[in-house]
């Protein structure tokens, strides 16, 4: 059909290439309960992202998406409040 290109997207709307979205380092670890099952998670700082953009990610998901990224030798703590038993 007939179409016209209206121009380029503003730079802030550019899509980041997939290879740039990669874990840089693990800042912390925890175990949460999801559906009654313990799930190990890591606090991930992503490459090319600020410290404000860290996220908690399930370790099994990380291992599946980034098999070469090493999650071993990290301290795991049980999640809970300061007033918990």
Instruction: Write down the domain spans for the chain.
Output: 20-65
Class of domain 20-65: mainly beta
pLDDT value for 71: 86
As beta bridge partners, residue 26 has 44
pLDDT interval class at 55 (50, 70, 90):
very high
Query: Has residue 17 got a pLDDT over 60?
Result: no
Residue spans of beta strands (DSSP E) within 1-85: 23-34, 37-46, 55-58, 77-78
Whether the full predicted model's pTM is greater than 0.75, yes or no, is no
Edge-to-edge strands of the sheet including 55-58? 55-58, 37-46, 23-34, 77-78
Residue 42 neighbours by CB distance under 10 Å: 21
């Amino acid at each position: 059909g007939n179409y016209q290109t209206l121009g380029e997207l503003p730079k802030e709307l550019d899509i980041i290439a997939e290879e740039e979205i990669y874990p840089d380092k693990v800042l912390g670890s925890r175990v949460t309960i999801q559906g009654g099952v313990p799930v190990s998670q890591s606090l991930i700082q992503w490459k090319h992202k600020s410290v404000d953009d860290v996220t908690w990610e399930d370790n099994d998901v990380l291992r599946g998406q980034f098999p070469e990224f090493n999650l071993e030798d990290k301290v795991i703590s049980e999640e809970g409040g300061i007033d918990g038993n």
